[in-house]
Amino acid sequence: MKQVDIKIPAEGYCVSYQSPSNIAIVKYWGKKGEQIPANASLSLTLSECRTETHMMVKPSKVANEDYEVSVYLDGEKKDDFVPKIKQFFTRIVSYAPYLTKCSVEIHTHNTFPHSSGIASSASGMSALSMCLVDMERNCGVDMSEEEMKKRASFYARLGSGSASRSIYPLAAVWGEHIEYKCSSDLYAIAVEDVHPVFHTFHDTVLLIEKGQKSVSSTVGHSLMKGHPYSAARYQQAVTNMSKLKDIMSRGDVEAFGALAESEALTLHAMMMTASPYYILFAPHTIEAIQLIWKERKEKGLPVYFTLDAGANVHVLYPDSHAGSVQSFIKEKLSPLCQGGTYINDMVGSGSSKI
């Protein structure tokens, strides 16, 4: 990615973007070097779980290698968010050297409940990256819409790997894979051939356990180094990416669901067999999975699940069965959620200016 040095206008620059969360079907778990994935991943872009970010940038009188950053969440100053943003700036400053010559004020709002166990890093880092690239473009850097997205995805990846995928509508691939043309370890790309059934696919997030996870994703990724099963897992991910390409193009919901479930359980199996081992499941996670399997078997409903690195369950189903699946969720699965809360989300259109 080329270096872009811009002159921040004397009057400053303000911009706002929204960006959604995403849910990986083939999971990224394990990385090398600076945010390089150990295997390619594919996610569906969501729409309801979003971060809205307003960025205000002003030129500084003197250059500051430590960056001038302030962060507000819902109007409240959050000094504890600053180190994460500074780490992000440190990773991108060689591509965006102007960051040492300005002050950046970031105001964010998440549309999903705080501490819901839904990571705001994917939506937050992608929204902030879009704000930065938008500023570069409006301060004289010539970029097409496509180049802009690629650059924002590149930045977002350096903030949080999975954030690279949130820029694009419907579905995105991050990580080089022979069958996905132009795929890269450095940024995500949009999946081109997505069957209409996946354009309106649903993901209801069951909030099984709110609050902080006991083991962060950063630690989880690092435990894949020297893991006894990592080589086999990375190989399996390559094969699953090939299978998923065909499944997404054919619109094979049953094969999609089976692959999503297997990937989810593999992700957690990697955690349980790491050293030190750990479990992010909760008893209600397993109960929800068993009820989903029972419903599918007894009623023939096309309802499947996937999991993130946490206890929450993502219930996946096509729009054609949304009514019956949502009744099942309300009746049987909501009692397993903390405070009975869940979020009806679905596939969406990626980041956009607000």
Residue type, 338: Q
Q: Does 274 bind ligand PMV (CB under 6 A)?
A: no
- Map tokens 């080589």 to a residue: 231
348 exposure class (CB count in 10 Å sphere: 0-12, 13-18, 19+):
buried
DSSP letters, 98-167, are: GGGGEEEEEEEEESSPTTSS--SHHHHHHHHHHHHHHHHHHTT----HHHHHHHHHHHHHHH-GGGGGTT
| Interface of this chain with ligand PMV, residues 7 to 66, rule: CB under 6 A | 24, 27-29, 41
Angle (nearest 5°) at CA 240 between 236 and 243 = 145
On whether the CB atoms of residues 15 and 134 are closer than 8 A, the answer is yes
C-beta closer to ligand PMV: residue 18 or 39: 39
CB of 238 to ligand PMV, least distance (A): 15
Question: Exactly one of 39, 116, 153, 160 binds ligand PMV (CB under 6 A); which one?
Answer: 160
- Secondary element (H or E) of residue 298: helix 283-299
CB of 1 to ligand PMV, least distance (A): 19
C-beta closer to ligand PMV: residue 185 or 308: 308
C-beta closer to ligand PMV: residue 141 or 215: 215
CB of 142 to ligand PMV, least distance (A): 30
| Interface of this chain with ligand PMV, residues 218 to 257, rule: CB under 6 A | 221
Structure tokens at 270: 């990697």
| Interface of this chain with ligand PMV, residues 162 to 201, rule: CB under 6 A | 162
C-beta closer to ligand PMV: residue 44 or 57: 44
Structure tokens at 200: 């309106």
Structure tokens at 75: 């109007």
Structure tokens at 327: 């009744």
CB of 51 to ligand PMV, least distance (A): 14
> Residue count at the site for ligand PMV (CB under 6 A)?
15
In three-state secondary structure terms, 31 is strand
C-beta closer to ligand PMV: residue 119 or 152: 119
C-beta closer to ligand PMV: residue 219 or 255: 219
CB of 159 to ligand PMV, least distance (A): 9
Question: Exactly one of 117, 124, 161, 175 binds ligand PMV (CB under 6 A); which one?
Answer: 161
| Interface of this chain with ligand PMV, residues 300 to 319, rule: CB under 6 A | 308-309
Angle (nearest 5°) at CA 256 between 179 and 225 = 65
List, in sequence order, every residue forming a beta bridge with 347; answer none if it has no partner: 46
In three-state secondary structure terms, 216 is coil
Question: Exactly one of 18, 121, 123, 126 binds ligand PMV (CB under 6 A); which one?
Answer: 121
Residue ranges binding ligand PMV (CB under 6 A): 24, 27-29, 41, 119, 121, 160-162, 217, 221, 267, 308-309
